[in-house]
Amino acid sequence: MQRVYLEMDKKYYNMKIIRNNIIPFKGYKAMNLFGVLFVRGNARIDDITLNHEKIHTAQIKEMLYVFFYLWYVIEWFIRLPFGNAYRNISFEREAYANQDDLNYLENRKRFDFVKYIKK
Ligand SMILES: [Zn+2]
């Protein structure tokens, strides 16, 4: 049996997706936990969302998993008084800025999220 993959899947494969009604909280569609995508109910996951989450997987791996979540929470707290903390976290900035480019992960360099800390 032959499977057809997106170009970037050669490098990043398909994500494991777990649909459930608990993670993430109401109001959110999907959450990447250690490279596994938790999707709420039957929320639609398109290529762009998937690309966004795969960018997070790249960040998660290069931050050795635990440091990704530590950094994420710390940066969220730091940015809390200055507008939309979630959208301004460097990991999210990188993911949102490049999610439309389905070849982004092919060209991305390690730790590229650092470029988005000051933007
Ligand atoms: Zn995100």
Residue 71 burial (C-beta neighbours within 10 Å; 0-12, 13-18, 19+): middle
Backbone angles phi, psi at 7, to 5 degrees: -50, -50
Amino acid in position 117: I
Ligand 1 center to 53 CA (angstroms): 6
What Rg value do the Cα atoms of the chain yield, rounded? Answer: 14
Give the Å distance between the CA of 43 and the centre of ligand 1: 15
Phi, psi dihedrals of residue 40, rounded to the nearest 5°: -80, 125
Nearest to 39 by CA among 47, 48, 105, 50: 50
Global pTM? 0.87
Cα 5 to ligand 1 centroid, rounded to whole Å = 22
Question: Along the 119 residues of the chain, how does pLDDT read in single tens digits?
Answer: 444 444 444 455 678 999 999 999 999 999 999 999 999 999 999 999 999 999 999 999 999 999 999 999 999 999 999 999 999 999 999 999 999 999 999 999 999 999 999 87
Distance 3 CA to ligand 1 centre (A): 27
